[in-house]
Amino acid sequence: MSTPLSAAPLQAIDASRIDPDALNILQRLHEQGHTAYLVGGCVRDLLVGRTPRDFDVATSATPGQVRALFSQSRGFGGRRFLVVQVQLAGGKVIEVGPFQARPAVDAAGMDAAVIKDEELAEHPHEAGTPEQDARSRDFTVNALFYDVAGGRVIDHVDGLADLRANRLRTIGDPAARLRENPGMMVRGVRLATRLGMDIEEGTWAVMASAGDALTRGSRGRLLSESLRGVSAGTGARFVRMLSRLGWLPVLLPPVARFLAEGPEREQRFLAHLEAMDRYISTGQRLNELVLACAMLLPITAPAGGLPSPDAMAAVLGELVQGAPELGALPRHGQMLTATLHQVVASPESVPAGNPLLPDARRLAALVTEVSRGQ
């Protein structure tokens, strides 16, 4: 298990800390006679005094009804989930999802695509009740609703008790839930390391024995979930836990290979991740391409310095093997690394119109942060 922390005192939710756009969405749904609550990580974070990264809404309204109510919106999802993304000023998006009747499984196929209006009504969806929706979610602390109109937290799964105890616990039977949805296991490690939570004993025991389930999951989703774990500002802690569970050869094969070369390589890689954590913790957000290239720098240039573009492409190819939806990453990483060399050698020589210039500058800043820590 992860190291237990002291119990976390919960706070009353102050409406002034709720995104005004989320409040407006809830009000419009209520005016149309629909049940609608804040749900998930935003409720969890508000209760422990964190600032939510985003706000999600769960409702009794169908996706078609939500889409009709908000003109600047679109259906989004696939085989595992369905939401309506309400698009707001400044590129902000609030996701409004219907109450689900049953848990999602890690089904193969695209699950992150825009759904056309004419397809939205025909999209498979089994409506559920608020309690069914809560029980369909992954971990108890992510299944809390907040009823803004009534000023109350609705808890169907004992999530408040787990939140007070700083405990991450699967909803339902952990063996059944985690084996049928391997991405949930990786997400659990990501949440535990990012939030500083202890993984409940039964959940941890299944994770430690169910690594084989990862080989049956969607490779693209598992890799994206792993990269999110590295991007949270607690990447070193995340990779240490993956290593402890024995999951690195499946999730991040180049990392597993590099760490197996000896304690010196392992120490260097983890120090590199700690430097990445410091950089990310300053508020920097890295997209998937920059994140993958940044993580792989010590592997692609084991003797130090910058990797060659071809070396980066080769290791990225190993990383994305089995994930055809990420097949362009090696080529894009090759081009980004070439631009990185230009930025480091002669910044003024890089054409301002080069679309990779902003990402290359972020990568160069990260290289500088890593060199400071050496």
Type of residue found at 86: V
Residues 341, 307: Cα–Cα separation, whole Å: 9
pLDDT per residue as tens digits for the range 194-236:
999 999 999 999 999 999 999 988 899 899 999 999 999 999 9
Give the H/E segment covering residue 316: helix 309-319
Q: Which of 45, 56, 162, 198 is catalytic?
A: 56
DSSP state of 346: -
Average pLDDT over residues 312-336: 96
pLDDT per residue as tens digits for the range 4-56:
444 557 888 999 999 999 999 999 999 999 999 999 999 999 999 999 989 99
DSSP state of 142: G
Domain boundaries, the chain: 15-171, 248-373
DSSP state of 148: T
Residue 38: strand pairing partners: 57, 146
CATH topology of domain 15-171: Beta Polymerase; domain 2 (3.30.460)
Residue 226 CA, chain-centre distance (Å), reads: 8
Residue 76 pLDDT grade (very low, low, confident, very high; cuts 50, 70, 90): confident
User: Residue 101 in contact with residue 131, Cβ under 8 Å?
Assistant: no
Residue 180 pLDDT grade (very low, low, confident, very high; cuts 50, 70, 90): confident
Q: Which of 19, 21, 54, 147 is catalytic?
A: 54
Q: Within the chain, how many helices (H) and strands (E) appear?
A: 18, 10
Instruction: Answer yes or no: 277 catalytic.
Output: no
- How many residues comprise the chain? 374
Residues 312, 125: Cα–Cα separation, whole Å: 42
pLDDT per residue as tens digits for the range 114-141:
777 667 766 666 788 999 999 999 999 9
User: Residue 359 in contact with residue 289, Cβ under 8 Å?
Assistant: yes
Instruction: Answer yes or no: 19 catalytic.
Output: no
Residue 152: strand pairing partners: 147
Does residue 1 register a pLDDT over 70?
no
Instruction: Answer yes or no: 56 catalytic.
Output: yes
Rounded (5°) CA angle 61-65-68? 150
CB atoms within 10 A of CB 308: 15
% of the chain surpassing 90 pLDDT: 76
Lowest model confidence (mean pLDDT) among 121-130, 178-187, 328-337? 121-130
In this prediction, residue 6 carries a pLDDT of 44
Q: Which of 106, 133, 138, 198 is catalytic?
A: 138
In this prediction, residue 112 carries a pLDDT of 64
Q: For tokens 């989930």, name the residue.
A: 81
